[in-house]
Structures are given as structure tokens and as C-alpha cells.
Amino acid sequence: MKKFIFVIMLIIILNICSTQEIQFGKIDSTQLTDGPYIFWQGEDVFVNYFVNGEAVKKIFAIYELDNYNLVIPELDFDQKIHFDHKIPNDIFKDVEKFFVISDVHGQYNQFVRILLNNQIVDEKLNWNWQNGHLVVLGDVFDRGPQVTESLWLIYKLEQQAENAGGKVHVLLGNHELMIFQNDLRYIHEKYEIVTEKLETEYSDLFSPKTVLGNWLRTKPTIIQINDLIFCHAGISPEMSQNFSDLRSINATANLIFRRENLVSDDENEKLLTGSWGAYWYRGYFMKSKKYELITETEIETILARFKAEKIIVGHTTQDSVLSLWNGKVIAVDSGIKYGDKGEALLWQDGTFYRAFAQNSKKKLDLKH
């Protein structure tokens, strides 16, 4: 009997090993190109990246890099970096035009295609939209293989837009939250190799002592542009009852992300980060096991509370950019996560458009 159990155990162990091998086998680690990941400790800055499977590690003094361009020709990386990112403003009035993209999920190529074909960036992926506002509505992380490239592109565009009189807003989604909490259920297998080679946890690559992690932790959960509010998953009736305005939501989120341990006993913090919070809620879309479908009256109450005409959300994937609840909700997540799908929301000259990846746009029907 003991022998039998031993054989069964051996089969199970061998099976686990071989699945892992197959999983790692899908990515050719000799081709691995990724980074840079920039950490600092005291006065030292550690820059790690991979080029064609080769790991490169460099050390600088912080004064050599802070506010200067870090240039890595092999990665086509030439970027001014900072070590202390300020909490940005969250209310913007008199904005002439904006472009909203959501749930990029590491699908850098599709992300770039949509930005490029709508002239938000030029051929060299530099900011090309003058005083326009680009809103990245959360969930840049997870699923796809080019999260790092997507984050650095947004980081660069943010600075370039600022210099051109425009703006880039990055809002946090549930997948940013998951990475901060080292919940790695959805990371692409490429990043398992990266973390193995760097002998670290994936979340440590985005800790408060990394350039990207420090930057992301300052980002808002909800913003207002003109008379519209933007939030990754949506504001539930529960959230609306417990938070008096947008500033109180962002202030609570900033408190959470400044801490080492994100979890606390505070009721408002638990609401914000839980299923009915701004990162996870799905009640605008359909009744499910977890969520009651919201009513139009409840949406009207939420909009009145936040002094807004519409709320613009991502997170729950639709077939296209879509108007719901008689134009009071606009859903932007249209499946960029699949790699060859998805569109963006454009507002200019007072009109909402679905902006496609193939250099065309269509007026959004707001009657639904």
C-alpha cells in the first residue's frame, strides 16, 4: 500500500514539474527583453533590464539620474526619471478634448496602434495631441506580455503632454491594486522568468522604492474633467453613501497606497478596495451572483452627489465603447486585453466618438 501511495505521489510531483516546464517553455528566455526596473536604496540607484536574454545591472548615484535622462539605447529608452512623484490634481475644467483608453493589460502593440492611428502620438511615439487630455482608465498590468513598455510609454507621454499644455491621467484599477498586494494570479509567464532571474517578487519591482511604483502610488482613483467623472470600475450606491466627494475617495486611496500593508480595519478603506469599491464594482452592467443591477434612479443620485453629468468607466469588458443608462454611463473597456480588439472614447467639439484602432471614428450613440 505504502509503495502504491509513493508511486502516486511521484506521478503527481512529476506532473507538476512537467507542467511548469511547459509553461516556461512557451517563452524563450534567451530572447527576453524587458525593463528597465529602477530601484533605489539610500543614495544608490539600481537599474536592471534584459536584452535578448542577457541581464544587465547598473548602479548610479541618485544625483546622476534624478531629473536627468536615463539612456539605454538597446531598449530604445531615453527618459527623464524622477524619484519623488507628486500627487496630481484630480479636477479639471474647460478641457477642450479628451481621449480615454482602458484595460490595456500589457497589450502594448494594440495600445500603440490606437494612440498612433488617432494621432495622439506620432510615429516616434511622442506626444502629438497639443492641449488634449489622455485618460488611461486603469488596469495596465497583468494578462499581456508588455506591461513594462506600456507603463514607460505612459510615463514619457505624461511629461511630454505637460510640456505641450496637455495632460495624461493614469487612474488605478483592480490589477494595479493586485500587483501592489503581490496577488500574482494574472501575471504573464514572461514576468515569472523576469522575477526568477532577478531573484525577487514581482510586486517588489513596483515597490514604493522603484520609479514606476512610486509614480503609480500617487495616481488617483477618480477624476473629474468638465462635468464628467472617470473611475476604473464605477461608483456603487454604497460608495456614494460613504464618500461625500471625489477628493475624499482619492485621499483615502492615497493613505492606503502610502502604507506598506494595504489592508486595514477602516470601514471606508475596506469599502473602497472591496467588491463594491471603485476598483472592482460591476453593478452598472448586469445582475450577477454578486451584484444587483443598479437602477437609473440610483445612478442619478450618484451623479448628483458627485456633481457630474456622466460617469466613464472601464473594467467590465463590452464588445465596443458603449453608452448605457441613457448616456449616464459610458463603458470604455472594449477588449484591448485580447490583443487585436478594442477601441477608445474620444470627445472633441462637444461630441463623443468611438475611436478605432484603424484610423477612423464613429459618433457614439448616447440614446442607450
By CB under 5 A, name the binding residues for Zn ion: 139, 173-174, 315
Largest CA distance in the chain: 78
Beta carbon nearer to Zn ion, 48 or 174? 174
The 3-class SS string of 65-125 reads HECCEEEEHHHCEEEEECCCCCCCCCEECCCCEEEEECCCCCCHHHHHHHHHHCCCECCCC
Instruction: Work out the burial of residue 92: count CB atoms within 10 Å of its CB; fewer than 13 is exposed, 13-18 middle, 19 or more buried.
Output: middle
The owner of cell 501575471 is: 187
- Minimum separation from the CB atom of position 241 to Zn ion (A): 23
- We find the least distance from the C-beta atom of residue 232 to Zn ion, in angstroms, to be 6
Taking the complex as a whole, the smallest distance from the CB of residue 139 to Zn ion amounts, in Å, to: 4
344 by DSSP, 3-state: which? strand
Q: Which residue, 303 or 331, has its beta carbon nearer to Zn ion?
A: 331
Whole-number Å distance between alpha carbons of 254 and 214: 12
Chain position whose Cβ is nearest to Zn ion = 315
Strand partners for 99: 134, 346
- Residue 29 beta carbon to Zn ion: minimum distance, rounded to whole angstroms: 29
Question: Closest separation between CB of residue 175 and Zn ion, Å?
Answer: 6
CB-based burial label for 118 (10 Å; 0-12, 13-18, 19+): buried
* Separation of alpha carbons 36 and 60, rounded Å: 14
> What is the Cα–Cα distance from 139 to 216, expressed in whole angstroms?
12
| Shortest reach from residue 107's CB to Zn ion, in Å | 14
